[in-house]
Amino acid sequence: MEISYQETSKDLLKRIAIHEKYGSRNIDEWNLEVLQPQPGFKILDVGCGAGKQCFLYSDHTGRKAEIIGGDFSEELLDKARAKLAERGDTNVSFRFLDFNQPFEFGDDTFDLVSSAFAIYYASNLDFTFGEAHRVLHPGGRLFVTGPLPENKKMFYDIIKEATGQPIPPMPGSSRFKGEIYQTIEGIFAKTELLTFENPLTFPEVAPFMDYVRASLSEDRKLWASLFSGKNEYEALIARIEAVANRWFERDGKLVMTKVVGGILAIK
Ligand SMILES: C[S@@+](CC[C@H](N)C(=O)[O-])C[C@H]1O[C@@H](n2cnc3c(N)ncnc32)[C@H](O)[C@@H]1O
């Protein structure tokens, strides 16, 4: 039986599709502007999921960079491999990688290590970013993206109004600018924080609710203080929908702004 409040690859792909359809800016273009990956680069994408960033770099370099995507979810790796087989890139590969364990690569291997919305879950930041630093060439770059505290304010405000409860702590946004930035700054020669803002405008409530469903299952147990089991989950969704409908009637649209931070560091 599929339990709709646990993270599945379907949820991740749904959120990506919603960003693409309702967003006014494209995070992939920002990613490429910042990184400008070149043919001949050796690139590692950590927590690659279904391979989004790997395929982006491959297309941008005319399939002439060597790209490895690593993730600990076999389900998402299968999705990535299926897409790879469809596309036929011979310069991209996917493999198991748990970023809480030593990376199975030699020192000074990569020109670029990236991680989009993933590595900030690491349990020991010094260890994980130490591994990222070790496998980079001197002068190689690390690029880590994640949510800033201002991210998706409207989404959290609607859930707060619907539940009358505080939003559970989100390790991503609460750690990103602080602990994660400081850890990277302590290990790398040069570190800077870039930001990307992308307003998503929903012309009706239904796609927003699709986003809510695909997000509450995000990060698995993060939302557990708000519901337990399927019935409570559905009751919560109904309360959120009622508030979203009120906001929509008042404003004529729902606008949720993604505010993403990018930590760019040089070894
Ligand atoms: C929100 S998804 C982002 C995926 C992809 N980078 C993207 O932007 O589409 C977070 C990813 O981190 C992965 N992840 C979480 N913990 C991990 C770990 N310990 N080691 C490797 N990957 C992990 C998940 O499996 C998931 O693919």
So what's the pLDDT on residue 222?
A: 77
Average pLDDT over residues 210-237: 83
CA distance 100 to 17: 29
Which contacts qualify for 78-84: CB closer than 8 Å, 24 or more apart? Answer: 79/9, 79/13, 79/49, 79/50, 79/51, 80/48, 80/49, 80/50, 80/51, 80/54, 83/50, 83/51, 83/55, 84/51
So what's the pLDDT on residue 172?
A: 65
In whole angstroms, how far apart are CA 173 and each of 18, 121, 168, 194, 204?
20, 11, 12, 15, 27
Q: What is the mean pLDDT of the chain?
A: 92
Asked if pLDDT for residue 8 goes beyond 70, the answer is no
Task: Tell how far CA 19 is from the center of its chain.
Answer: 12
> Residues 44-54: pLDDT tens digits?
999 999 999 99
Q: Strands of 254-266's sheet, edge to edge?
A: 92-96, 66-71, 42-46, 110-116, 136-147, 254-266, 190-202
Residue 9's pLDDT band (boundaries 50, 70, 90)? confident
> Which residue has a Cα nearest atom 27 of ligand 1?
49
Q: Can you list the positions of beta strands (E) in 59-135?
A: 66-71, 92-96, 110-116
> Residues 198-210: pLDDT tens digits?
999 999 999 999 9
Backbone angles phi, psi at 40, to 5 degrees: 95, -15
Task: Report CA(71)–ligand 1 centroid distance (Å).
Answer: 6
So what's the pLDDT on residue 1?
A: 34
Set out the domains of the chain in order of their start, with CATH numbers.
Answer: 9-266 (3.40.50.150)
Task: Report CA(254)–ligand 1 centroid distance (Å).
Answer: 28
> Which ligand 1 atom sits closest to the C-alpha of 49?
27
For residue 71 and ligand 1, the question of a CB distance below 6 A is answered with yes
Residue 168's pLDDT band (boundaries 50, 70, 90)? confident
**Is-contact 89 14, C-beta < 8 A?**
no
So what's the pLDDT on residue 244?
A: 97
Average pLDDT over residues 207-220: 83
Average pLDDT over residues 25-34: 94
For residue 69 and ligand 1, the question of a CB distance below 6 A is answered with no
Average pLDDT over residues 135-163: 94
Asked if pLDDT for residue 186 goes beyond 90, the answer is yes
Residue 74's pLDDT band (boundaries 50, 70, 90)? very high
For residue 33 and ligand 1, the question of a CB distance below 6 A is answered with no
DSSP element (H, E) containing 201: strand 190-202
The pair of structure tokens assigned to 206 is 């239904």
So what's the pLDDT on residue 7?
A: 52
Nearest to 33 by CA among 265, 262, 199: 262
Q: What's this model's pTM, rounded to 2 decimal places?
A: 0.84
